[in-house]
Amino acid sequence: MWDTLFNQVEDHFNELVAVRRHLHQHPELSFKEFQTTAYIADYYRQLQIPYQEKVGGNGVVARLVGNYPGKTIALRADFDALPIHDQKEVPYKSLVPGVMHACGHDGHTAILLITAKLLKEIQHQLKGTIVFIHQHAEELTPGGAKSMIAGGALDDVDLVFGTHLWSSAPIGVIQTAPDRFMAGADKFTITIQGQGGHGAMPHETKDAIVIGSQLVTNLQQIISRRLDPLNTAVLTIGKFQAGDSFNIIADQAVLDGTVRTFDPKLQDQIIDEMDTIIKGTCAAYGASYQFDYLKGYPPVINHRQEAQRILEVSKQINEVEQASFVQPSMTAEDFAYYLIEKPGAFFFTGAQIAGNFQPHHHPKFDFDERAMPIAVKVFLKLIQSYQ
């Protein structure tokens, strides 16, 4: 039964590609994925697998109940896009200006739908229940995972797994970690209020650009000089806005950035250190400030037993050349919320296009579609391992 099912995965490659490319051409932003939700729901309707729409917002949850008692295992895929203009010159380029799937969520959705289609064929022989969680709004805090959990997505679930197509790793590579896998991600905004004036008379001003520049330098010393070097953390200023003219000294500067950590205590220490440095720097120049800090997704912490299982089943797949534990990534994922609630693990499926690597969230991002059947097979092997 299972051997036949695995052999059928390649027969569904064209459908995997078709589903992925349809979604790629019709992307929708976080919390606005109405047509994508309808597309997913219609797919389950045609499969005759019971489903719920609008779970926690725009989420879809389908449940395939086997004929025999067993564990309830959830598989999750996200489906929102990003506010980025697609610059690829491909037949399946986004048809929505300024919006594209720049992170692989279109592929994640195709993978989960085809996995469901294949498992439906052996429903009468399955033990337990398979839950297919299609999550909206992974890209934008507060994300969709938390609200979907509150909406019942994990009710009666014993284990939860998910994958991310990973353009940093080549085809045939499966990566995960036994515990810490992806960092918690926070966002902050610092607004500096100085005193503007003529560029020829700086002594009469409180230059917000100078203050902001000093602050950028001072904040970097938190990581390099205030934290234990054995602790892992990132503090990045990604945006600095100030000024309107070449000869006018700016009265205001706005700095946006992110903090990445694995330890809540370290997170709180960084926030305290930031507040002290911002206060002191602005006071030295006689400026006022506002510091807004938003705690975002918690870190993705895998459960060791389930992560080990991912490696074991992956090594049984011919197309997988390497399956291994890797060092944690400082990227973030709201899959973290599922793992807080239930045992499970998250893993990367290598999807790099050889000779044409573009990072996630790049306007020319793409992935090797041959990675999708590999991810389907890992999901199927995981389900089989609990039968």
Catalytic one of 80, 207, 251, 366:
80
Residue 33 assigned as binding residue: no
Catalytic pick among 28, 33, 106, 138: 138
Backbone angles phi, psi at 137, to 5 degrees: 55, 45
Specify the residue for token string 């289609």: 117
Q: Look at the block and give the residue holding tokens 């991002």.
A: 365
Q: Token digits for 341?
A: 């609630």
C-alpha 162/C-alpha 155 separation (Å) is 17
Phi, psi of 379 (to 5 degrees): -60, -45
Instruction: Give 229's Cβ-side CA count (13 Å radius).
Output: 2
Q: Is 255 helix (H, G, I), strand (E, B) or coil?
A: strand
Q: Taken in order 5, 176, 340, 386, is the CA torsion positive or negative?
A: positive
Give the Cα separation of 107 and 21 in Å (integer): 8
Answer yes or no: 80 catalytic.
Answer: yes
Binding residue per annotation — 22? no
Q: HSE-up of 180 (CA within 13 Å, CB side)?
A: 16
Parallel, antiparallel, or unpaired for β 300-301 and 180-182?
antiparallel
Annotated binding residue 136: no
Max CA separation in the chain (angstroms): 82
Q: Is 282 annotated as a binding residue?
A: no
Q: Is the dihedral of CA 39, 121, 378, 71 positive or negative?
A: positive
DSSP class per residue in 179-192: SEEE-EEEEEEEEE
Q: Where are the alpha helices (DSSP H) in the chain?
A: 2-11, 13-25, 34-47, 105-120, 145-150, 208-221, 264-285, 304-314, 336-341, 371-385
Q: How far apart are the first and last CA of the chain?
A: 12
Binding residues for Mn(2+), by number, are 103, 105, 139, 164, 361
Which residues are tagged catalytic? 80, 138
Annotated binding site: 103, 105, 139, 164, 361
